[in-house]
Amino acid sequence: MKKWQTKEELTDLLCSIVQYQSITGSTAEIAIAEYLYHILSQKEYFQKNASSLNLHPLEDGRRLLTALVKGKKKKKETVILLSHFDVVGVEDYGSLRNLAFHPKELTKELFQSKDQLPENVRKDLEAGDWLFGRGTMDMKAGLTLQLAMLERAIEGEFDGNVLLLSVPDEEVNSSGMLTALPVLNHLKETEEIEYIACLNSEPMFSKYPGDPAHYVYTGSIGKVLPGFYCYGKESHVGEPFAGINPNLMISFLSQQMELNEAFIEQIEDEITPPPVSLMHRDLKGEYSVQTPQAAIAMYNVLYLKQSFEELNKKLLVSANQAVKQIEAYVKKKAEHFATVAKDFTMPASKVSVYMYEDLYQEAVNRFGQEEINRRQNLLGSQREQGDRDFSTLLVQELAAMCNDLAPMIVLFYSPPFYPAVSSHQDPYIQYVMEDIKKFTKEKYSIDLVNSEFFTGLSDLSFVGPVTSNSKIKQLTENMPLQHNGFVFPEEMMEQLKMPILNIGPLGKDPHQWTERLELNYSFNSLPTIMFRAIQKLLANSPKRQ
């Protein structure tokens, strides 16, 4: 018996899922996986096929969910329905924070004070077909729709198999999806199935305020997280020219990197935003009149089809430009100071730039591989600091071992890393997309727009065809965490590589306190569109021809 098919049923299911306050890293992120397992275990199919429904552990105790429904005819072709069940925090809700996970109540409360809200929010409230709350749009509505599709698979409505994969931690490190890769490989072998496509249901993202388009996607944008470790030269505040302050270094670096148009990439109508800083601080533990020894900056850099060589070159150009400005600035200030302090002698102020791999090799040459391994193993006890801080700690240790090279800027990479992926030119995916565009136009008078890249970042990056021919090794060999508690699974990604697409609900303002889901398209029209997409994926797989 189907219970998750009408707009009202889907809305109620969504609200029950949203009520789990599954902020990334919280205990509720563990509880929601158990809830999903519970509601699916009530289905007769999984009572008869208990081994097809599973919770799989991550190293930290969180769990991901898989639910495999096989078609009535024995076939290998399987479509993966991919989702995540974690959400971002709710600090931005202010006094409404306690209602953030209660969509119906929050929507009513907002309606009561609609005159105090931005005009576009007020209009949506007055329209009446919008549901507010954290996770309603990103991406528990997509998960809700996939549960509805799984229910139809249980009823035998698909000529093939459907595998629901729902993971934690998409909003931070994607450790859920990285853990899922060997799980998918294992299921493929033990269940004797073949993955023909992965359908994600992230919500569509508008390209500008008021954008009326309904997007579907055939790929997902890429992201690297470069870090710049600025190792200065300490001095007493009474002798500022005796050293170089890393806070000064990082300020010039910020001017070079922040919003740098050199990183903007355009492919047809797809445009990446320029870099922005995600971390910018010195590493001094406590106050004193000694200048800091080091500072760290990390930047969000998005890409579509650029090679890692191109990206790395641009990052090095930015670092070297910053160095020129640092040296010129210090020289100018010192020359001015010398006109006042007659006995002042200007010290050398040359700053060097290194890649992490170069610094690592220099340390190995000086101290030997065994000593480097010993020191990095000792640092392993601080792994719980998180990927970004632990990466910084590993660089800091090498820089301290080679401190005579200071002042210097060390370029490295930290997780998370999302390869840009695309099936835009895949005839199989092109056919399915053209079919649902025609179907949606005829049935609902809605023009779907096929956009190559989903720009919100997604876990499709780990199963789709990568857009760049460059080797990931160039990035991973400059990633301190590689083989220090983290291994980027390039080989397994290549084994699992499959066609990808994203068909998701309509909403607005993801990650904001005004996050909301449009209910009419999302829960009236989209279930039929998604059902047809899965049908066409199963019926037209090249592996079936």
- Annotate 180-221 with three-state secondary structure: HHHHHHHHHHHCCCEEEEEEECCCCCCCCCCCCCEEEECEEC
Pairing of strands 219-220, 222-224: unpaired
Cβ neighbors of 403 (< 8 A, separation 6 or more) are: 231
Q: Residue 489 above 90 pLDDT?
A: yes
Q: Residue 545 above 60 pLDDT?
A: no
Task: Read off the pTM.
Answer: 0.94
Distance CA 490, CA 378 (A): 27
Distance CA 488, CA 473 (A): 10
CATH of domain 226-413: 3.30.70.360
pLDDT for 235 equals 76
How many Cβ atoms from other residues are within 10 Å of residue 32's Cβ? 27
> Longest C-alpha distance within the chain, in Å?
92
pLDDT for 538 equals 98
Extract the runs of DSSP E, i.e. beta strands, from 319-359. 352-355
Query: Is residue 446 a contact partner of residue 525, using CB atoms and an 8 Å limit?
Result: yes
Q: Which of 462-480 are b and which e, b meaning 16 or more Cβ less than 10 Å from the residue's Cβ?
A: bbbbbbbeeebebbbebbb
Supply 293's token pair: 């020894």
* φ, ψ at 438 (rounded to 5°): -65, -45
Distance CA 409, CA 511 (A): 33
* pLDDT confidence tier of residue 159, bands split at 50, 70 and 90: very high
Pairing of strands 516-518, 507-508: antiparallel
Query: Is residue 375 a contact partner of residue 366, using CB atoms and an 8 Å limit?
Result: no
pLDDT for 285 equals 84
Distance CA 399, CA 83 (A): 41
Mean pLDDT of 90-115: 97
Q: How far from chain centre, in Å, is Cα 49?
A: 33
* φ, ψ at 478 (rounded to 5°): -110, 25
How many Cβ atoms from other residues are within 10 Å of residue 282's Cβ? 18
pLDDT for 64 equals 99
Residue-wise pLDDT for 458-468, tens only, equals: 999 999 999 98
**The amino acid at 43:** K
Nearest to 475 by CA among 409, 423, 420: 420
**In the chain, what are the domain boundaries?**
7-221+419-472+487-539, 226-413
User: C-alpha angle 284/321/348, rounded to 5°?
Assistant: 65
The residue whose two tokens read 């990285």 is 178
Cβ neighbors of 425 (< 8 A, separation 6 or more) are: none
**Which residue did the predictor score with more confidence, 336 or 38?**
38
The residue whose two tokens read 């999984």 is 46
How many Cβ atoms from other residues are within 10 Å of residue 110's Cβ? 23
Query: Is residue 56 a contact partner of residue 64, using CB atoms and an 8 Å limit?
Result: yes
Q: What is the share, in percent, of the chain residues with pLDDT greater than 90?
A: 86
Q: How far from chain centre, in Å, is Cα 275?
A: 15
Distance CA 38, CA 152 (A): 18
Going from the C-alpha of 294 to that of each of 192, 229, 321, 348, 406, the distances in angstroms are 53, 7, 19, 19, 10
User: Which listed CATH number (3.40.630.10, 3.40.50.11540, 3.40.50.880, 3.40.50.720) goes with 7-221+419-472+487-539?
Assistant: 3.40.630.10
Q: What is the mean pLDDT of the chain?
A: 95
Q: 3-state DSSP call for residue 535?
A: helix
Lowest mean pLDDT among 43-47, 123-127, 206-210, 273-277: 206-210
* φ, ψ at 527 (rounded to 5°): -55, -40
* pLDDT confidence tier of residue 457, bands split at 50, 70 and 90: very high
Cβ neighbors of 237 (< 8 A, separation 6 or more) are: 289, 290, 291
Q: What is the DSSP letter of 482?
A: B
Nearest to 271 by CA among 416, 464, 452: 452
Lowest mean pLDDT among 141-150, 378-387, 514-523: 378-387
